[in-house]
Structure 1
């Protein structure tokens, strides 16, 4: 084996070793999930060299330089590293928005709307690039095929999904078969599949190139409102339903692998962590749960909120879990060891509907019905900045992959880009 290059992976922090073996070029990923501003880089480099034969003494300097770059990136994106200002206001649609998403570069974003369209925007110029027209009802769910971001999948109240070419704006295929409104849609990790969840109590798996239905996942007894592929191979799919359960499916099989039961109310969101070992779920029963994805067992139930839990997310490293609630707060929990509550974010005046970590994990972003979004220090729970100016409820928000931009979407029919 011969090492060719060391590539950086910023989120979650890690390095990718590109090497040759018997004439074939291969990649090996090494996670550095514990890397932070206090890490001794020389000790870390020494430890990596002891474990990995490709990291010989002659590349020690290059390795330490890569680790230093990753460490500086984390420090730069910390709670005190950046203050955001309004950069562009996108006058997006004639009717309210539903969902938004950045592409990997942060140079484009997509918006879905009640006006039956999905629009692609140039973030730098604040101008519409393409309007993806063709749905006959509300476009509720929008997503890129990450990380390539050459295609978009949409889910609509017209009971179909559609896959679009971003450059041309053309519909590549329509995902038929649901008998209820499609409220969730996502590409698999490699982009070869698309999954949809609908109000007809089912989820479906499609070939994303042809639009051919591959699997019809039946088993839930109420609406399927969330779907997610596992971030690794994309061979598992989780679905969350208003029936209070989470199902795990193998994309190669028709029947469920397992059902996660324990919530006493509707599921509001479900998510895999980075390595797909854990599943987090939030529920209108006022609790969030952490599950072992392989053993299908409940590891912890957190019930610190005093009202419905509306959203859940993991940080990029998969070591912390955040929740948001109708009780006007957000909370962060440790999922690495003892599942204790690490911080409580209080300050919003109305329900907090969306929560997401910054890529480096030092900040938490929340969206609220009080017309503001807030940035919080994940270590202290203190509010770092209030993003105000929207004239209506903010229902969605997201960081760009690099962490240098934020998008907020409001019922005032606008999106705001913050940099």
Structure 2
């Protein structure tokens, strides 16, 4: 492991970045030029999905059909899983686990085990179209998948059996997340609906008011109290993320508006990052923004020039985010709080 890290550092290259940040008052400020480490790329094509496995390992999937486990602290590929016949659309895992899940345009989902060979440990076949939603239950016993075939499936992770399947007309699934410590699953769709499913009977337990634009992504706070969803759009219309209260009221709290194109991802940041709760978003407009969760003030904004659409966003640890892009691989972003919260690009791979 130590040798791999040293090799990764020797392979890295340094390039200059002239990133700009926006202060809370909306006045743009330029800070001194920083160096961006260029590590060995994780993928040879667009990266479609990324998530954190440990504090320094991430998992990603891409149009090159591969699933990659990458040590971003060293710039080293630890595992490259090849088994899908078409683009990987989503990856998922539980933190600190040794299992990784992937979904694909080949209509399947696969499970990979880090300490075994490079063959899939389990296959989940049953959808009729591309699999676009993927989430692991908090106890790691079940996998939930969703597809453009309008269906949601619950699978037994150990056997690969489909335990339940439910279909709703026009429910073209875009994303799925599991509520921590609960039997509930949140799902976004191209029909502009946001649904909460009870996984025990696989029935819809609640629907939020229909949004004006297609809902692209959803995530849940670690305490299970809040959910964010994000919207497609263009020219600043739509393009927002929305905060929902998952408790008794199940109402909209606020909206995060400022992106100019589709907001592809929205995530909650750990409370250790700031004195106030934070939400981060990434967009097809090549920017990542950090917001005050409760009053929707944009605290920091970073433009990743040349990245193309940003497709996915995840938290590494209390200081770093990882962001997937179509044109420039995966971006490692560092958050600092010395002069107010700032966001910097630290490395690309």
TM-score range, shorter chain: 0.7 to 0.9
Is the 8 Å Cα contact of residues 255 and 296 (structure 2) preserved in structure 1? no
Is the 8 Å Cα contact of residues 194 and 208 (structure 1) preserved in structure 2? yes
Q: Distance in 2 between matches of 1:139 and 1:370?
A: 16
Mark the CA change 1:151 to 1:367 in structure 2 (over 3 Å): closer, same or farther: closer
Q: Distance in 1 between matches of 2:101 and 2:176?
A: 13
Q: Does 1:156 align with 2:156?
A: no
The aligned counterpart of 2:37 is: 86
RMSD: 3.3
Deviation at 1:262, TM superposition (A): 3.5
Q: Does 1:212 align with 2:161?
A: yes
Mark the CA change 1:210 to 1:114 in structure 2 (over 3 Å): closer, same or farther: same
Q: Work out the number of aligned pairs and report it.
A: 301
SS of alignment partner, residue 40 of structure 2:
strand
Q: Does 1:200 align with 2:149?
A: yes
Deviation at 1:270, TM superposition (A): 0.7
Q: Distance in 2 between matches of 1:367 and 1:119?
A: 13
2:54 to 101, 104, 127: 104
Is the 8 Å Cα contact of residues 250 and 256 (structure 1) preserved in structure 2? yes
Mark the CA change 1:319 to 1:244 in structure 2 (over 3 Å): closer, same or farther: same
Greater RCO (Cα-Cα under 8 Å, separation 6 or more):
2
1:289 to 237, 242, 267: 242
2:189 to 214, 218, 241: 241
Task: Tell me the TM-score normalized by structure 2.
Answer: 0.73
Q: Distance in 2 between matches of 1:131 and 1:344?
A: 34
Q: Distance in 2 between matches of 1:369 and 1:241?
A: 22
2:290 to 332, 341, 348: 332
The aligned counterpart of 1:271 is: 219
The aligned counterpart of 2:344 is: 385
Q: Does 1:320 align with 2:288?
A: no
Deviation at 1:172, TM superposition (A): 2.6
Deviation at 1:211, TM superposition (A): 1.0
The aligned counterpart of 1:134 is: 83
Deviation at 1:328, TM superposition (A): 4.9
Task: Tell me the TM-score normalized by structure 1.
Answer: 0.62
1:172 to 116, 121, 143: 121
Is the 8 Å Cα contact of residues 188 and 195 (structure 1) preserved in structure 2? yes
SS of alignment partner, residue 197 of structure 2:
strand
1:185 to 116, 123, 134: 134
Q: Does 1:145 align with 2:99?
A: no
Bigger radius of gyration = 1
Q: Deviations over 1:230-285 (max 9, x none)?
A: 12x24111111111111111110221001112311111211111111111111012
Mark the CA change 1:356 to 1:161 in structure 2 (over 3 Å): closer, same or farther: closer
SS of alignment partner, residue 244 of structure 1:
coil
Deviation at 1:195, TM superposition (A): 1.2
Is the 8 Å Cα contact of residues 345 and 376 (structure 1) preserved in structure 2? no
Q: Does 1:345 align with 2:301?
A: yes
Q: Distance in 2 between matches of 1:102 and 1:139?
A: 16
Stretch of structure 1 that moved more, 169-178 or 325-334: 325-334
Q: Distance in 1 between matches of 2:100 and 2:320?
A: 28
Q: Distance in 1 between matches of 2:91 and 2:74?
A: 21
The aligned counterpart of 1:37 is: none
Is the 8 Å Cα contact of residues 114 and 137 (structure 1) preserved in structure 2? yes
Q: Distance in 2 between matches of 1:237 and 1:320?
A: 22
